[in-house]
Amino acid sequence: MTIVLVASGRDHGRPGGRGPTTGAGDPAGELRVALESLDPAITVLFRQTDDEAELISWLFEAVEAGWGVVLNPAAFTHYSYALRDAAALVTEAGLPLIEVHLTNPTSRDDFRRASVVSAVSTGLITGLGFDSYRFAVRAAADRAAVRAAVRAASPTA
């Protein structure tokens, strides 16, 4: 089962940082350790950028490939209707999209109280640092597995 982890935000992509590296590279540091504890049947692909158009293109790619998505939209969370529409295509295709925030944005600035992505996300995990990614990958993989099982039991579902 393949889950693509799509992250924006400079902290996530810093060379030698704790989060995903750029492109499809290996994760660094804490995130690698966290994801190594997951089920080996789950393949996690990493994508990191601060470019909105690139983020959107990766959501289109997930729809075409049938991948579940873990998405940290960083500040795009709070205003990007373009990203929201692309996220909606993922969930409308029956694929899980788990929105992730390392912090709890609602306890920060007022403008962070609203997420324009949450209404179309399968679920939301916030405030658990890098564990947010681990739980989100787990949730996306579980959702995809349940859907596959339901489809196998009832091909018209």
Ligand X SMILES: O=C1C[C@@](O)(C(=O)O)C[C@@H](O)[C@@H]1O
Find, among 94, 4, 111, 8, the residue nearest to 51 by Cα: 8
Sole binder of ligand X in the list 43, 57, 103, 107 (CB under 6 A): 103
Sole binder of ligand X in the list 6, 42, 56, 102 (CB under 6 A): 102
Sole binder of ligand X in the list 48, 72, 121, 122 (CB under 6 A): 72
Q: State how far the Cα of 6 lies from the Cα of 62, in Å rounded to an integer.
A: 10
Find, among 44, 43, 47, 56, the residue nearest to 22 by Cα: 47
Instruction: Please identify which of the residues 12, 18, 101, 138 carries the catalytic annotation.
Output: 101
Number of shown-chain residues binding ligand X (CB under 6 A): 10
Helix (H, G, I), strand (E, B) or coil at 43: strand
Q: Among this protein's residues, is 12 annotated catalytic?
A: no
Regarding 107 and contact with ligand X (CB under 6 A), the answer is no
Q: In degrees rounded to 5, what are phi and psi of residue 141?
A: -65, -40
Please report, in range form, the residues annotated as the binding site for substrate.
72, 78, 85, 102-103, 112
User: In the complex, which residues of this chain contact ligand X (CB under 6 A)?
Assistant: 9, 72, 74-75, 77, 101-103, 105, 112
